[in-house]
Structure 1
Amino acid sequence: MNSFTHSINSVNFPFILVTLNIPIHARWENNGLTVAGGHEEGKALNELNLNCPCSLFVDADQRMIIADGGNDRIIRRRMGDTREQVIAGGHGEGNKLSQLNSPSDVLVVQNMNSLIICDRQNRRVLRCYFHSDTISGESLVVNIDWQLSHPEELFSDTLCNIYFVDFLNYRRRKWQRQSSKSIQSS
């Protein structure tokens, strides 16, 4: 089984391992550098027009993946480039697999060439696969009987189980790989 790691300060979670080697006497600039957005909200596909960006993920190829919540899309942009590409959503607000409604988080699964997306207002968690220039998707966790409310904050473990916060139900949920349902996580 392939495993993926995502790390914050070298504490491993599945997906991409990021090791930070920050010298003990490092100094930081007083002003940060804007890498995307920063001007006015908008829908145009360029760095000046994000609308409520909720999540940022940098993949192994140094591409930023941004959950542009107010524009109901996930975009990708190479570091230092000004061109962006819609890789999920972008077809207006809606609940079809080709549409999103306020995505709140995104993770990249490099080895499976896919994204995991918290689609907040649609109350679902999606997996989107990349096949050359096309994207196909599936719902991993959907709002059955209104039991899922505002999924946010994705994580995964070494067994490729997906964890997320079921925000308005005040709980964490776990979607087990090869399963058709999610369970409450302790």
Structure 2
Amino acid sequence: MTTATTDKKLYDICQKAKGISKCEGCSKIFCYNHFGDHRQELNQQLDEVEVTCDLFRQTLNPSPFCPIVVSPCKIKINDNTRWLQDGITITGGNQRGNELSQLDGPWGICVDDDEQTIYIADTFNHRIIEWKYGATHGQVMAGGNGPGKRIDQLYEPTDLAVDKEKDCFIICDRGNRRVVRWPRRNGTCGQTVISDVQCYGLTKDHDKYFYIADHERHEIRRWRIGDTCETVVAGGHGEGNRLDQLDSPGYIFVDKDYSVYISDEKNHRVMKWIKGATEGIVVAGGQGKGNGLAQLSGPREVLADQLGTVYVTDCGNHRVMLWSKGAT
């Protein structure tokens, strides 16, 4: 909080005596021009405190579901994190199949830290399955009635998000070229909210806007439930490899500043589109298809942490890559 002051003290950065304010938190005097900088410094310090708090909480209550702290649009990973080279199976692992202890081609996932639950787009079983922490089998939450286009069916779903406010799933029902809303509790059928879209990936920002990747139209669109139209926020200039184009975009991540990170699959790169930009920035790959450390091959899932580090599943190379901000 600030308070205006008529004190004759000079702010020592710019030596102004007029238009100055006092920060009630630290009791320092700032001119209006520099108070914004002070606020940003405080916000950064608050972020650091939140990271420390989250890491301490994980130390007290470790869980295989929480190797990183996930909140809407904000991934917090400590600078000193060391990654284990051996993974832990938390769902599936019982060979390919359609039993409740099995998966068949799982693609997108969504983690609910509050309920210690992971939701999985079990693509070739045509269902969304819920798997609780420590469980030996899952529970079908949507679909599971074979492939089809009825309202109680899904056809090769590829990704999902949870809308806790409306207590429902938003699902990329790729094979049916639609986005479906499905109740999260005792839901027996879904409702189509977007038609005629080859959706691969979707995500949600903290203003409750959803973002969908249209694999066929090579663009990312933003919309909110109840809206009658969507807004193109990336791509939309046809298939291509220019900085204002995408080629078969897959998965999306939106950070706290509304920058959109996109796995640009057939361009073998990850693009970042700052809010309002007319073209993107290559933040990973972009050196052609390959297995070198400067290359990607068909990237899929992508996320970014608070430092701008990009994590991407490099599908064609069977690996997960970490790209520090500005790295080549």
* TM-score clears 0.5: yes
What is the distance in 2 between the residues matched to 1:138 and 1:158? 18
Which structure is larger by alpha-carbon Rg, 1 or 2?
2
* Cα RMSD after superposing both structures: 2.8
User: Of residues 294, 298, 311 in structure 2, which corresponds to 1:150?
Assistant: 298
Larger proportion of strand: 1
5 Å-filtered alignment, 1:56-95, equals: 56-95=202-241
| Cα deviation, residue 85, structure 1 | 0.9
User: Of residues 250, 261, 279 in structure 2, which corresponds to 1:104?
Assistant: 250
SS in 2 for 1:71: coil
Moved over 6 A (4+): none
Q: List per-residue Cα deviations over 1:139-181 (Å, max 9, x = no partner).
A: 111232532110110133454421111111111111112x322
Q: List per-residue Cα deviations over 1:53-100 (Å, max 9, x = no partner).
A: 111111111111001111100001111112111111111100011110
User: Of residues 230, 246, 263 in structure 2, which corresponds to 1:118?
Assistant: 263
TM-score, normalised by the number of residues in structure 1: 0.73
The unaligned stretches of length 5 or more in structure 1 are 37-47, 182-186
What is the distance in 1 between the residues matched to 2:259 and 2:185? 36
1:28 corresponds in structure 2 to 186
Identity %: 31
Aligned residues: 159
Q: List per-residue Cα deviations over 1:6-51 (Å, max 9, x = no partner).
A: xxx88623734876569xxx84211123332xxxxxxxxxxx3212
The unaligned stretches of length 5 or more in structure 2 are 1-43, 52-64, 76-111, 117-183, 291-295
State the one-letter code of the partner of 2:260.
Answer: L
SS in 1 for 2:196: coil
SS in 2 for 1:35: strand
Larger proportion of helix: 2
1:50 corresponds in structure 2 to 197
Q: List per-residue Cα deviations over 1:92-117 (Å, max 9, x = no partner).
A: 10001111000011111123x31111
Q: Given that residues 284 and 310 in structure 2 are in contact (C-alpha distance below 8 angstroms), is that contact kept between their aligned partners in structure 1?
A: no
Asked if residue 127 in structure 1 is aligned to residue 272 in structure 2, the reply is yes
TM-score, normalised by the number of residues in structure 2: 0.43
What is the distance in 1 between the residues matched to 2:241 and 2:202? 23
